[in-house]
Structure 1
Amino acid sequence: MPGSEVPVPDRKAVPHTEDGSIIIVVATDAPLLSKQCDRLARRAVLGLGRTGGFGHNGSGDYSIAFSTGNVLNLRDGDLHQGIKALPEKDINPLFHAAVEATEEAIVNSICKATTTTGYKGRVVYELPLETLKSVMAAD
């Protein structure tokens, strides 16, 4: 989209830097162990890549994942009994879901953004959704 349709801040007044950050949080009720949650969090970053992000040097991109699939009594000093875990062979659909959900969340946040005036009166304009639809349909 040309700048005439979605004006951007004056780049002379705002030097271009390749930074910015995103925090991706993946929550599931699937019974996962901590190692499986780590793997799930790493897959979620692929959804960021599908939207065009690729982690510049100055970016602070993080992803975390947690599961509510097991309830542990942490105040009890006994061994934890009955911990459930999804078999490794069955985790691929969760990986796929994490990528898809991350991509969808990013696209939704862009589409719901509104024109904002920030520091020193700098204005960042919302995207015209009809134009965005036509651009995305062209791919």
Structure 2
Amino acid sequence: ASRIVEWQDRSYTLGVFVQANFGKRRNFTIRGRHVGPELAEPAIREGTPRAEKGSIIAAVATDAPFLPHQMKRLARRVPLGIALTGGYGYHSSGDIFLAFSTANPEAALAASGRVARAEFIPDVDIDPFFDAVVQGVEEAILNALVANEDMTGRDGNFVPALPKAWLKDNFG
């Protein structure tokens, strides 16, 4: 999922990619509506007990110029988007979030013996990018769920896909 963020008459793209294998169905939320209890059937079947229950990996990419501490701040907004979908970060969840910028490529190639320069957006102007991260994470997770199909795994473990007809009826 991606967002365009306007700043100082320039447009920047912020994209989010997620590997979403996390959460409990009972907590699932779509656009602020707690829908998990409505999705009880078909039931998830777990034939193999597992110590770990899931994980999420998210990568945030942008062409906006930010400094390393600002990129960390963007990555720290990922859990807010996860929470919007009902992910609470339970004990056994393995979560990895990273953020990077493609801006300022010449800074890494600066000649020896010279001061290198890099542009960056001031900290006081970062809020619209925080919004883009949170919204992008939520959308990326929902996109992954919509694209999924029923899955049967080892020992008869079964996870049903998000029902497309139910989604259309409830969210158009």
Structure 2 match to 1:68: 102
Tell whether 2:39 aligns with 1:8: no
Structure 2 match to 1:101: 136
Structure 1 match to 2:78: 44
Structure with more of its chain in strand, by fraction? 2
Relative distance call for 1:19 and 1:117 in structure 2 (3 A) is closer
Tell whether 2:135 aligns with 1:87: no
The aligned runs of 1:25-44 (5 Å cut-off) are 25-44=59-78
Q: CA deviation at 1:128?
A: 1.1
Note the alpha carbon deviations across 1:76-131, whole angstroms, 9 max, x for none.
44455220110111100000000000000001101110111211232322121221
Secondary structure, counterpart of 2:42 in structure 1: coil
Moved over 4 A (4+): 133-137
* Higher mean C-alpha displacement, 77-86 vs 25-34: 77-86
Aligned partner of 1:92: which letter? D
- Unaligned stretches of 5+ in structure 1? none
Q: CA deviation at 1:19?
A: 2.6
Structure 2 match to 1:123: 158
Aligned partner of 2:108: which letter? N
Alpha-carbon RMSD: 2.3
- Unaligned stretches of 5+ in structure 2? 1-37
Contact 1:32 1:86 in 2 (8 A): yes
Aligned residue pairs total 134
